[in-house]
Every structure is written in structure tokens, then in C-alpha cells.
A and B are shown apart, each in its own frame.
Chain A
Amino acid sequence: MTTTLTAKETLFEVTNVKKYYPIKGGLLRTTKGQVKAVDGVSLQIYPKETLGVVGESGCGKSTLGRVILGLEPLTDGQLVFKGQDITHYRASQLKPLRKEMQMIFQDPFASLDPRQRIGPAIEEALIIHTNLSASERKKRVSDLLVEVGLKKEHYYRFPHEFSGGQRQRVGIARALTLNPSFIVCDEAVSALDVSVQAQVINLLKRLQKDYELTYLFISHDLGVVKHISDRVLVMYLGSMCELGSVEEIFSNPLHPYTQALLSSIPRPEIRKDRERIKLQGEIPSPANPPSGCRFHTRCPLAQEICARKVPEYREVKPGHHVACHFA
């Protein structure tokens, strides 16, 4: 679906976004260094698509989601949402835009107040952002509960009365309250058991169709990402490795890291002949990333140039970008 879109229809334009966290230490708590959580990410998010973001822990995928939503101030870069440059917007300027952008969190139990009933928790956003009457608000919440596969009677229940899958449905209902156009799903199904996970993924796909939603779907589970995404971004240590359509990334991965990630997934089928690309060692610290290509310390194909020169992030095929000297 991405190929039919032109650049004009971009929902979100993210240009060279950086997010550094200072490391404080010593007697006067001076800045000793920086954790480069996100280091130069540029991408476009098109309306009604799902952009999957994958990578291992510490690669900056969650930070990227938070930065895009304006939940964390940027260190550098530019964010353009529906043609408005929101990079330097103050909280008051962002407020009307908050209706358009929502987030679904990993652990719905931690993101719900245990002493607040489900109905009022979902209703809160309506009180802040709309001037609906109390009965209209209640109707809207009841409709939402039904929409996400819960029951109207659940309105007066507490979070602890729900199972994990149901709580995630509450999280989804809450994100939908204000009819957003863009939702960041941060590991939204990772905490769920597979049988329930499948239910929630199917729900997210149906809602996307019904409400014309755009998702930024952050996950470490490549199976889930492949299933739900139109395009996929692979990140490693805060930088972009590869971006392309889901078919391209999964059938023709060009970056050695993407290839290794794909071959590391344990497949739920018996095939003893499968060759696995084994990565040596662990992910380096983002406070002190390797020189040149960040992946060179673990890359099976690394050459001398990789340690010296940062590979250019370039388009090798229409819509398929990769940052590797040898791709």
C-alpha cells in the first residue's frame, strides 16, 4: 500500500532525530558522557499504514516511539506532523494534537490506576479534551468497551478483575477514546500468552481497517511484526540498519544484522537442516558505541572499512533503505 502513496501524503515526517541522555556522576554531578539512545533516525510514516520497528533491547525503539509522540524532548532533529513542524511546540500547543496521537503500552496493569474503575479511566480523556455531557461520555465509553470486545457491564470493574488480555483491550479502548489517527503500540502484545496475543493482534488489525488508523508498532517479536506491518524498520544501537516493505525485509534482507535476527528466531516447526547465522558476543553499550558501523563488532562480514567509516544510509531499491557498506 505504501507504493501508491506520494510524499505529499506523509502523516509524520521524522528527520534526523536524536535523543541523548546525559550520564551524571562525580562530586558535582557533572555530565560524564551521553547515552545515545536514538542517534539520527529519519523516516516517513504514511497514513493508514503500520510501520513495525524491531530490534533488541537497548536499540532505542521505545525511545523513538516516545520522542515521536513528544513525550520526551528531542536532542536534535525535526518532527513534522500533518504538515506542522511540532519540534519546538510547548505543552499547550501540543495539547490539541494529543487527541490525534495515542499510545498503547506493554503492561496494561502498570498503566491503569488499580483504584480507579475501568469506565472512569477511559472517560478521563473525554473530560479533558471534549465538552460532552456526562451521559454522552458514558455512552461513548460503553460503545468503546463493546468495540474492543469487552462488555458494557465492565464499566464499573477494577483493573484487577481483568485478565491480561482483557486489560490490554482496556488499554486499546483508552487509546481509541478520542478518535486518534496515529497510535504508537509499544510492545503492546508482548506480555500476552500466544492464544490471547492472537486475539489482540486480530483486534488491532480490525480497528485499523474500521477507523483508518496509522500504527507505529514497536516489538522485539519478528513474527508479530511481520504479521501486522506494512513496512519494517530494523534498529541497532540507536541507529537505523534497514527499512523496507515487509516482503522485502523478510524475503530479501540486505543488512547482515537483519539476516542474523531473522535466522535466530526459533521456528515452530521441525526442520533440522536450518542454517543459523550465529552472532558472537553481546550488544555493546549505547553510552560507548563502536566506531564506524555500530554493528561491526558482531558482524560476520565485517571488514577493515566497517570500523573506520559509518556506512551511508541509502536507498538500494525503491522503498528499501539499508546502511551497510556491502549491501
Chain B
Amino acid sequence: MAEEVLRVKDLEVQFKTAEGYLSAVRGISFNLKKGETVCVVGESGCGKSISALSIMGLLPANGRIANGEIWFDGKDLVKLRQDEIQKIRGNDISMIFQEPMTALNPVFTIGFQLCEPLRIHQNLNKTVAAKKAVELLKQVGISEPERRMKQYPHELSGGMRQRVMIAIALACEPKILIADEPTTALDVTIQAQILDLLNELKQKFNTSVIMITHDMGVVAEVADRVIVMYAGEVVEEGDVETIFNDPQHPYTQGLLASVPNVDREQEELTAIPGSMPSLNEKIEGCRFHPRCPFATEKCKLQHPSMTMIGNHKVRCWLKGGQVSDDNINSQRDAL
């Protein structure tokens, strides 16, 4: 059993709005083992990106961690001061963002941005850092790395920019790499290249990866374990084979059925009716019940907790769910 590098416990993230504090992430718990790739899947607004930003300590100004713990290296990241977090961010835990054009600074050269983490976290001087930066660019498969060092982000194509982002994220050989939709903005042939690169680098450095995505195809390609999120909660968690071959939660089943499959003939796609609830919508009982084809009376009234089925966890009444003790609905109403 590989050692655990990260443990998130009951994480709840709230945002300040005109209607008071609303929870975007409602008590999620998971752990990450060394060298493992965990994929967090869900549709926009399910809280997957916000969870990642909380781990990085990068929540926007109107967001706060209301509850929970994030354990890394014997420390609870939630309780650390900004300067302590800064020593970890970009060094032990780093992140790749979805849109490499907005994540890279347009007024600095690639070289400068690549050297920055090396100089801050590893105290390397300019020349040593530059040498290492060229090495990194080579590793992520960028041709003519010396010339690229002097170029600005707008001079590179989308795929190349994403490679630079990966190089920056890997500069300090982090223990954990968080990739937030790293290939969503890229074309399929480039996406295949980037996914291969990530897999290859992961093997080489034995990095643990949290990959956030909405694309079930990408999940099947890279994941060891999968966490399915819906409306701020984890609804199902299991290893990748179980999630794809034996999904238990109606939402996971719906997600898999609604992807148009190139290898199969389908007359009509099985869509999930309705859409993701917004933050201010009050939902009693199971948060998926308004869209669930199997919802019963019980689902409308009581919030289910995570139940172990074989080797994976499901939050559903139909799969032997139990009354949730972390009743976040009532907590929020009290606020």
C-alpha cells in the first residue's frame, strides 16, 4: 500500500453573495496516495475546481473554507498562514490551469516565468535556473528550448503553451500535481500528446496527480481512481474499472450514458433531465433527486451518506445509503 500524501476531510467552501454565505463545496473527503492519479469528474458548477483551488490556498476573495481539514506533510493547510502556504504552493503542490493563455503572464518571457519558481523555492541563481529551465522545456517536448526561453506566450501555439505550463508546474518536482482541465482547450490530436506527456512525467517523478475534468474519455485514459461530484458533494468514489464497468450512482450512470460514443450505435442519447442546480437553490434530501429517474419519497426527504459497496463508495438511498450525520442542509439554514 503506497503512502498517503494528501488527505482532505469534510471540506466545505462557501462564497459570500448578496444572499449570505452559500456553500459551493459541501463536505468532501478524499485521500491521495503516492504516485496515484485521482480524477475528479463532474459538470460545471459541481465544485470540482473550487476544491482544487482550496487545496492550493487560491480561493477568490469572496470565498472561504468554512469547515474541514486538508492534511499534507503533517500540516493542516487550512490553518497555515499565507507565507507558510507560499512555501508549499508551486514547490510541493503545483497546478496546471485550463487556459494556458490566461495562466501565463503575457508581459514576461517563457524563460522568466519558468525560472521564477526555481529561484524562489530552490534559491538557484540566474544561470543555474536558466540551465534547469532549458532542461525542463526539453523534457516536455519543446523544440529549440533555448530560443523559446526568450519568447513571449503569444508567440507559442496552444499546445506549446500548455507544455510550458506543465514545465513550470514540474519545475520543483512537486509531490502533488493538480491539473484543472489541462486539455479541454486543446484539439484532440494535441490532447493525446499532452495526456501521454503527463503520464510519462508522472511515472518518471512518481508524482501524485489530481486531475479535474468533465470528459469521461480523459478519465478512462489517465485515472487510477475516480471521484464523481455533483452539486458540491462526492456522490461516488472508486477505482477506474469499477466506475466504468459497474457504476452505482444514477448520476454516474447518467453521465456515462450521455456521452456520444464513437464505437457504438445509439439511436437516441440518454440525457439526464434538468440541469445542475445553482448555489442558492435549496434542495432537501438527496441533492440529485430532482433529476434522478429512480427518486423515491425517501430521496426527497433525507440526505443519504456515503456507503461502501464492495470496494467503492456511493451516496444513494437505492444502494443502501444511510442517514447522513453531516447534515449540511440544516447547518446552512441555521446560518
Contact = CB atoms under 8 A, between A and B. Distances in A.
Interface in B159-215: 159-160, 187-193, 195-196, 214-215
A235 to B, nearest CB: 13
A56 B188 contact: yes
Given A205-B268, A269-B220, A223 B215 contact: no
A56 B44 contact: no
A201 interface: yes
A194 interface: yes
Interface string A189-204: 0000111111101100
B261 A198 contact: no
Contact of A262 (B159, B262, B275, B276): B262
A199 B190 CA distance: 28
B104 to A, nearest CB: 17
Interface stretch (A9-17, A74-82, A274-282, A316-324): A274-282
A270 interface: yes
Contact of A194 (B192, B193, B214, B244): B214
A250 B260 CA distance: 14
B271 A195 contact: yes
Interface in A205-219: 205
Interface in A137-193: 163-166, 193
A287 interface: no
Interface residues of A, number: 39
Interface in B96-131: none
Nearest to B245: A270
Interface in A55-87: 56-57
B192 A195 contact: no
A264 B195 CA distance: 11
Contacts of B192: 264, 266, 276, 278-279
A220 B216 contact: no
Interface residues of B, number: 46
Contacts of B28: none
Contacts of A57: 158, 187
Nearest to B183: A266
Contact of A166 (B220, B241, B275): B275
Contacts of A264: 188-189, 191-192
Contact of B220 (A164, A270, A282, A283): A270
A65 B241 CA distance: 41
A268 B269 contact: no
A279 B189 contact: yes
Contact of A201 (B217, B257, B260, B276): B260
Given A220-B187, A269-B244, A198 B269 contact: yes
A35 interface: no
A307 interface: no
A227 interface: yes
Contacts of B217: 265-268
Nearest to A224: B260
Contacts of B157: 282-283
B262 A265 contact: yes
Contact of B269 (A163, A166, A202, A266): A202
B255 interface: yes
A260 interface: yes
Contacts of B159: 282
B275 A196 contact: yes
B252 to A, nearest CB: 11
B53 interface: no
A250 B255 contact: no
A210 to B, nearest CB: 15
Nearest to B254: A195
Contact of B244 (A224, A250, A260, A268): A268
Given A265-B262, A282-B157, 5 more contacts: A56-B189, A222-B188, A267-B220, A268-B256, A270-B241
26 contacts: A57-B187, A163-B276, A164-B275, A165-B275, A193-B275, A194-B216, A194-B258, A198-B269, A205-B268, A222-B262, A223-B261, A224-B260, A226-B260, A261-B188, A262-B262, A265-B188, A266-B191, A266-B192, A266-B218, A267-B261, A268-B261, A278-B196, A279-B189, A279-B193, A282-B157, A282-B190
Interface of A: 56-57, 163-166, 193-199, 201-202, 205, 220-224, 226-227, 250, 260-262, 264-270, 276, 278-279, 282-283
| The 8 residue pairs across chains A and B that have the minimum distance between CB atoms | A266-B217, A198-B271, A193-B43, A198-B258, A268-B216, A56-B187, A195-B272, A198-B269
